[in-house]
Amino acid sequence: MENRIIDNLTRIAGKDGVLRTPEDLAVYSYDGTFAEGIPEVVVLPQTTEQTADIVKMASESRIPIIARGMGSGLAAGSIPIRSGGIVVSFTRMNRILEIDTHNSTVRAQAGVVTADLQAEVEKHGLFYPPDPSSIRHSTIGGNIACNAGGPRCLKYGVTGNYVLGLIVVLADGRVLTTGGKPIKDVTGYNLTGLFTSSEGTLGLITEALLRLVARPRYAKTALVEFISLADASRAVNAILAEGIVPASLELMDQTAIACIEEAMHLGLPTDVEATLIIETDGSDEQTVLREIEAAGRICKDTGARLVKVARTEEERSGLWKARRSISPSLARKAPNKLGEDITVPRSAIPEVVQRLRAISAKYGLPVVIFGHAGDGNLHPNILFDKRKREEWEKVEPMVREIFGTALALGGTLSGEHGVGVLKRPYFEQALGPVSVEVQRRIKQALDPLNILNPGKMFQE
């Protein structure tokens, strides 16, 4: 990269804001996947204006720009696909700018860590529901760029449901403001919705205006054991059909439970095909109680062996500890794992689980299944040892079959992780050529020089 460009970046973001040593660059070459790509330079702007100046310069010099939050992504969306380019990291843009208690909104810079934002608004009795697993380290900007989900999204909706407005730096360095505090807004195209989940390919999100709700004061959580996974899946549908919308309806299959139990010794049942974690919440204690009881009754009616409602906050957090410990538990079980993020119509869950098991048996590698059953969003995790070539070589064909299964059952590639690099090969298969062509036209219209996160989503 020319010195002139480095000088300009330093002028824009300050000496602290430009990283170039191999050690520093290495830190920004990873995300939550196996992929890797070393940027030529990392810039850490502190304002929208600095971000705009960086993009303007990059655009003039035709240098790729890769936006990055905390790099916790699971689709290789925030790392350079080819080495080179400018990684724009938003970690220094981590200020909460306004909490408006009258309108229940928060305005924050893109680099605010989601859990920090949640904690801050909760001090005001407000609540930002989306809760991706990465909540303690991922950023609001990254969550929006991928339209992140989480267990609580069954009742509350995904990140995109909370984005009222954005400030976005466009490919030519101009600054676009979308939306505003009004809840309803149909003035023009839904640009807020278009930039949400665009994975840094249409613009760089520097600031977000988010809708908040009242903090639920009560929550009740139950662990439900099902001898048959098909029954567990029927229970999910039966609960929702009754008009009960739990905050969370999480499924863990036998393998997932066994992994957690092996690692944590929490006393979970390892002899059942499935467990559900059901949580109801709200502002009225009686209602929350009534709903968890009704959900428990429905589970019993659909064949649950045991419904155990946590009686104390300690028991409750124990259940969530179990749920959250799946990923670390898997790490103890095998050196490597590859977690997918398929979604299917929720009626297809029993069938998809059966087919995933068949794929596991065919290739002889464990596939652990857990996820947000109420949304039909499952995370099949393939366990393997990358050092063993015969195992590593199975992973790609297994992934292909997993995606094929999801698509065959009316599902899709990703419920909350995004396409990034890893799902590119399946993108057109999932959406069809017309959809991909329409998306390419939008990309071309907003980023004609293809400098924003090139090589993501679309095959080049």
Contact partners, residue 227, CB within 8 Å, separation at least 6: 272, 273, 303, 305
Question: Is the Cβ of residue 336 or residue 347 nearer to a second copy in the bound state?
Answer: 347
Question: Is the Cβ of residue 19 or residue 457 nearer to a second copy in the bound state?
Answer: 457
Instruction: Report H helices in 78-138.
Output: 114-122
CB of 237 to a second copy, least distance (A): 6
CA distance linking residue 218 with residue 158, whole number of Å: 21
CB of 283 to a second copy, least distance (A): 3
Question: Is the Cβ of residue 141 or residue 216 nearer to a second copy in the bound state?
Answer: 216
Question: Is the Cβ of residue 241 or residue 364 nearer to a second copy in the bound state?
Answer: 241
What are the angstrom distances between the C-alpha of 240 and each of 26, 131, 269, 346? 46, 21, 25, 11
Pair type for strands 204-211 and 248-253: unpaired
CB of 66 to a second copy, least distance (A): 18
CB of 180 to a second copy, least distance (A): 6
Complete DSSP assignment for 11-56: HHH-GGGEE-SHHHHHHTSB-SSS-B---SEEE--SSHHHHHHHHH
CB of 30 to a second copy, least distance (A): 21
Q: At what angle do helices 349-363 and 229-241 cross, to 10 degrees?
A: 150
Write the single-letter amino acid at 70.
M
Question: Is the Cβ of residue 19 or residue 244 nearer to a second copy in the bound state?
Answer: 244
Question: Is the Cβ of residue 239 or residue 365 nearer to a second copy in the bound state?
Answer: 239
CB of 241 to a second copy, least distance (A): 6
Q: 257-284: string of b/e by CB count within 10 Å (b at 16+)?
A: bbbbbebbeeebbeebbbbbbbbbbbee
The CA-based diameter of the chain, rounded to the nearest angstrom, is: 71
CB of 91 to a second copy, least distance (A): 23
The alpha carbons of the chain give a radius of gyration, in whole angstroms, of 22
Question: Is the Cβ of residue 384 or residue 403 nearer to a second copy in the bound state?
Answer: 403
